[in-house]
Copies of this chain bind each other. A is one copy, B any other.
Amino acid sequence: MLTDDLDERLRGIVGSQGLIEQRAEFERYCVSFDGVFRGSARYIVRPSSTAQMAAVVTACRRAGIPMVPQGGNTGLAGGAQPTDARSVIISLERMRALRAIDPSNDTMTVEAGMTLADVQMHAARVDRLFPLSLASEGSCQIGGNLSTNAGGTQVLRYGNMRSLTLGLEAVLPDGGVWNGLRGLRKDSTGYDLKQLLIGAEGTLGIITAATLRLFPRPRDFATALVGLPTPAAALDLLHLARAHLGESLNAFELMRQECMKWVLVALPGAIPPFAEEYPWYALIEAAGQGEPGTLRSPMEEALSKAMEEGLVIDGVLADSEAQRRRLWALREGQAEAQKAGGAGIKHDVSVPVSQVPEFIARADAALAKVVPGIRPFAFGHVGDGNIHYNPMPPLDVEPQAFTQRREEINRIVHDIVADLGGSISAEHGVGQLRASELAHYKSGVELRAFRALKRAFDPHGLMNPGKVLT
């Protein structure tokens, strides 16, 4: 089939509403939201049903045209931008239906283009919680969350996107529709295909719908912000809090002094939480089904024990929902804080939870050696061992001169991560950004297995090429 025929064929499948014709509109799909990744595409197609999606994939496969599935285009790794200008971007934005909701099974089935915020909202309407929560939830889509195995601030308790998913529907690279929309807690019938598609960033097929787990809505919250001397103290506090609060511990977020400083600059009207500054801060939250106030006393016990032991210097426990929101704003404003503070070089890494202090100490020391005066900026999900380690340029260095040393700095940070048994991409995915790093750090055995999987599903290499595997 000639690609000119493909034009007509695609129009026939998705209709004129489903095909973006105006070149002016292409930018919104071809460029990542932050402007970092810029690609070109031949077509932008927006199927409105799984049947249309299957027909689009079949047509592109026959024409030998690369396909780039795209959700809300909020990714940080360039996974949704084409690397090949002949590509078709396949947007999921018209597939956003709520297909079913079964509160008695604690599940809902949604199409992949539904935004995360809408998923949360539909769950809340039946008095349930869908716990995935992250900064871009207003515009990111659940299909993108699935394809990157998204994390966020509630992983400590509820796990990441993989743990929140019971079933999937997907169009495989050969155009076949796999209906795996099972709402089952236990199913041992052969290979678990959904696990392969989750986190595959669209390189093995296109997720079109998912059956998601719902949870009881917490009625009681205990939220604290504390000042800490060191990351080691934060780790000890995590264990102490877990001993007192068990699985009710929702979040345990660490922030550096530098992060607090800049978030107070970046957020209009933000009030410093303490009279003094501390080297580190942790935002800790427990949530439960009990009467409001139930978790306050175990949280207080944990914190006062931590103060006795010198783990915590100072602390504040939210007295109201408004105060709780104010404490969370300090954590949620970290992307803005980073922007206010200067151009950081971002690392989304994880290590074993026990190795977080060691990682921070080694990375700080190694970078200070090669870039004297480098400003440490680091925050993240200590309970998951996931640190967003984003050092900023020294005050006397031009941001551009600093970011030109990106590769050198990446290698230093990632070598330490690898040495500690960690991951160079904890929750943002690989995309284009980390594809060569992945090839560098993975073993030959693992890369061979990856390539064998890719060949088995996508022998012609048409599904999101240039992402994950180089």
Chain A interface residues toward B at CB < 8 A: 102, 104-107, 148-149, 151, 155-157, 159-160, 162-163, 172, 176-180, 182-193, 195-196, 198-200, 204, 215-216, 218, 235, 239, 242-248, 288-290, 298, 350-355, 381, 383-386, 421-430, 434, 438, 441-443, 445-446, 448-450, 452-453, 455-457, 468-469
Nearest CB on B from A386, distance (A): 5
Residue in B105, B172, B424 whose CB lies within 8 Å of A189: B424
Residue in B191, B235, B242, B455 whose CB lies within 8 Å of A199: B191
Apart from A190-B450, A193-B449, what 6 extra A-B contacts exist at CB < 8 Å? Answer: A163-B163, A172-B445, A179-B445, A193-B450, A243-B289, A247-B247
- Inter-chain contact A352/B183, CB cutoff 8 Å: yes
Docked Cα-Cα span, A425 to B446, in Å, equals 30
Contact A149 B385, CB 8 Å, known A163-B159, A243-B289, A246-B248: no
Residue in B200, B242, B384 whose CB lies within 8 Å of A186: B384
A-B contacts, 10 listed (Cβ < 8 Å): A104-B235, A104-B239, A160-B185, A178-B443, A186-B423, A189-B424, A193-B446, A196-B196, A216-B243, A290-B298
Which of chain B's residues have a CB closer than 8 A to the CB of A298? 290
Contact A426 B187, CB 8 Å, known A159-B163, A193-B446, A446-B193: yes
- Inter-chain contact B426/A105, CB cutoff 8 Å: no
Which of chain B's residues have a CB closer than 8 A to the CB of A446? 178, 180, 190, 193
Docked Cα-Cα span, A469 to B189, in Å, equals 10
Which of chain B's residues have a CB closer than 8 A to the CB of A186? 151, 155, 160, 350, 381, 384-386, 423, 426-427
Contact A423 B386, CB 8 Å, known A172-B445, A456-B456: no
Docked Cα-Cα span, A192 to B448, in Å, equals 13
Residue in B149, B160, B185, B189 whose CB lies within 8 Å of A430: B189
Residue in B178, B184, B245, B456 whose CB lies within 8 Å of A385: B184
- Inter-chain contact A452/B445, CB cutoff 8 Å: no
Docked Cα-Cα span, A197 to B436, in Å, equals 26
Docked Cα-Cα span, A192 to B352, in Å, equals 17
- Inter-chain contact A199/B188, CB cutoff 8 Å: yes
Residue in B188, B453, B469 whose CB lies within 8 Å of A423: B188
Which of chain B's residues have a CB closer than 8 A to the CB of A162? 192, 195
Which of chain B's residues have a CB closer than 8 A to the CB of A188? 148-149, 199, 423, 425-430
- Inter-chain contact B352/A107, CB cutoff 8 Å: yes
Which of chain B's residues have a CB closer than 8 A to the CB of A187? 350, 423, 425-426
- Inter-chain contact A200/B195, CB cutoff 8 Å: no
Docked Cα-Cα span, A383 to B383, in Å, equals 27
Docked Cα-Cα span, A244 to B291, in Å, equals 9
Which of chain B's residues have a CB closer than 8 A to the CB of A106? 353
Docked Cα-Cα span, A177 to B178, in Å, equals 31
Closest to A451 in B: B456
Nearest CB on B from A58, distance (A): 13
Nearest CB on B from A412, distance (A): 18
Residue in B239, B429, B457 whose CB lies within 8 Å of A452: B457
Docked Cα-Cα span, A219 to B155, in Å, equals 24
Identify the 8 closest CB pairs spanning chains A and B, nearest first. A195-B195, A246-B289, A104-B354, A456-B456, A187-B423, A185-B384, A105-B354, A186-B426
